[in-house]
Chain A
Amino acid sequence: MDPDAIVTLIISNAIFFLLAAVIIVCAILMVSSRNLVHSALFMVAVFIGIAGVYAMLSADFLAVAQVLIYVGAISVLLVNGVMLTRRADMKSSNPGNNHKLGAFLTAIGLFGVLTWKVLSTEWAASSAPPAETTAGQIADLLLGKYVVPFEAAAVLLLVAMAGAILLAKGADFKK
């Protein structure tokens, strides 16, 4: 193995474990934070870390879409929701219920089973190089093979938008 390959290997390892640490630590802080606004901020950090993971997986279009949709739009929606439904004391706005132990054991058990199955499976990994850029190929798929789901997604977004406006505004059915 030549030195350049070893350096690349070390760097990719370091980047992966850094991203994984950021994602997991921020997710745990998000769950354990007492303040709902802090939770939302940690959620944004998790989303940015996931965008980095997409970039590592050479999914350039998805990395950008993740930043735009999740970091830009969904987190703003959630923070707006927090502000619209806030209560007097923001400090304890994110309480837990009394299923903590059961939920914790279920989550740990699920993680154990998933990890065991992932490690015990022989994955049919392909050694083909990834695509240089993905946007053109995704466009071909979206407007070719997946054109019907694409149109259905457009209708779904329209219906969701109309439904959200109707629900939040309050419909007047007495006409």
Chain B
Amino acid sequence: MIGLPHFLILAAALFCIGFYCAVVKKNAIAVFMGIELMLNSANINLVAFNRFIAPDKLDGHVFAIFVMVVAAAEVAVGLALIVSIYRHRKSATVDDLNLMKW
């Protein structure tokens, strides 16, 4: 029987892949993709807990919707930042963005 641990382990694997992507990639957009994977794995956890621990309430679904809203806002602002930086510095590589590095 497919239970809660199956979904939690799937989400954990997805989170770790997203973490690896966000840490290793040079291109800022690839870093964003990794962050999206991590947010999605958190959403799977929320919905799985809701389904298996408290199926009569839907608070987990509402939390997942809020995560989606914040992810959408984050992607819009982040991509605008990347486009703006690319226009000024002709590069979308995170290694080049060392202006504030001490």
Contact = CB atoms under 8 A, between A and B. Distances in A.
Chains A and B bind each other = yes
Interface of A: 9, 12-13, 16, 20, 23-24, 27-28, 30-31, 36, 39-40, 43, 46-47, 50, 53-54, 56-59, 61-62, 65-66, 69-70, 73-74, 77-78, 80-82, 84-85, 93-97, 99-100, 103-104, 106-108, 110-111, 114-115, 118-119, 123-126, 128-131, 134, 137-138, 141-142, 145-146, 149, 153, 156-157, 159-161, 163-168, 170
A24 B5 contact: no
Number of chain B interface residues as a range: 35 or more
A78 B21 CA distance: 15
B97 interface: no
Interface string B41-75: 00110011011111110110110111011111111
A168 B14 CA distance: 31
Contacts of B86: 84-85
A168 B80 contact: yes
Given A99-B24, A119-B5, A157-B73, A126 B55 contact: yes
B8 A93 contact: no
B73 A160 contact: yes
A123 B24 contact: no
Contacts, number: 228
Contact of B66 (A47, A96, A153): A153
3 nearest A-B residue pairs (beta carbon) = A160-B73, A167-B80, A114-B12
Contact of A74 (B9, B21, B26, B72): B72
Contact of B82 (A27, A39, A81, A99): A81
